[in-house]
Amino acid sequence: MSKIFALIPAAGSGSRIGAGLPKQYLPLAGKPLLYHALNSLCGHAAVERVFVVLAQGDAHFGALAWTSFAAKLTPLYCGGATRAASVFNGLLAARDEIGAADWVLVHDAVRPCLAQHLLERLIAALRNEQTGGLLALPVVDTLKRSDTEAYVMQTESRENLWQAQTPQMFRYRVLLEALRAINPALATDEARAIEQLGLRPKLVQGDVRNLKVTYPQDLELAELILKTMQPQINTDKHR
């Protein structure tokens, strides 16, 4: 049976949140944001190893203790200028450990509220797929397209539209070839790269609580969500 690995691209600066610290290291519930993503993936029995892709000059990761995850965690200092470049570089760096048909779960470093039941749902839904898929949510709000001055031009149909989340789960060789073939600036997520090969990723029902921290107010909401997930949060002291 194919093995499951996880990869977290964590080489970005998180400029939109307006902090002096890279977003993945901002404090959330007493720990760095990145800790919570690692906790979800390292804590799942089906995940063999978790690779975190860091910027080459990252001075923050090594200054923190990650002993809770030592058995599964491997840092890779090969981050690129874009998300796609970081994921591609990480896949290349880990090629000796991951087989061509093995699965890779790519998860956002700043998506801290990934529940174990969501991971189970994703893995169960994709285990027998040839390509893979991703967690996503059907769009429920009315969508407006604006001009450059923020005036409404038209209302867009939301029928069959989904909002992509992570993890996104694909076969190692398929994902590597997809990222090799696409302009990294165009691949805002892994599914986009897969689509460019003419393949069709499967959408798996996600959860609104699996939010991505983008703006300062998202930290407050994420902390509230984490409080409802306390049984799955690793209680080891993180120093």
> For residue 136, is it within any domain?
no
Predicted confidence at residue 29, as pLDDT, reads 95
C-alpha distances in Å from residue 151, one per residue of 148, 154, 216: 8, 9, 26
Predicted confidence at residue 1, as pLDDT, reads 79
Over its C-alpha atoms, the chain yields an Rg (Å, rounded) of: 18
- DSSP string of 136-160, one letter each residue: EEE--S-EEEE-TTS-EEEEEP-TT
* Rounded-to-integer distance, Cα 108 and Cα 124, Å: 20
> For residue 190, is it within any domain?
yes
Task: Report the domain count for the chain.
Answer: 1
CATH number of the domain where residue 56 is located: 3.90.550.10
> For residue 157, is it within any domain?
no
> For residue 160, is it within any domain?
no
Give me 116's structure tokens.
């174990």
C-alpha distances in Å from residue 62, one per residue of 111, 148, 165: 21, 43, 28
> For residue 186, is it within any domain?
yes
The overall pTM is greater than 0.75: yes
* Rounded-to-integer distance, Cα 168 and Cα 105, Å: 6
Predicted confidence at residue 187, as pLDDT, reads 84
* Rounded-to-integer distance, Cα 116 and Cα 165, Å: 15
Predicted confidence at residue 19, as pLDDT, reads 61
Evaluate whether 51 touches 76 at the Cβ level (below 8 Å). Answer: yes
> For residue 159, is it within any domain?
no
Predicted confidence at residue 16, as pLDDT, reads 58
> For residue 158, is it within any domain?
no
pLDDT in tens, the chain (239 residues): 799 999 999 998 765 565 678 999 999 999 999 999 999 999 999 999 999 999 999 999 999 989 999 999 999 999 999 999 999 999 999 999 999 999 999 999 999 999 999 999 999 999 999 999 999 999 999 999 999 999 999 999 999 999 999 999 999 999 999 999 988 777 889 999 999 999 999 999 999 999 999 999 999 999 999 999 865 544 344 43
Predicted confidence at residue 183, as pLDDT, reads 81
* Domain housing 90: 4-130+166-199+208-232
> For residue 161, is it within any domain?
no
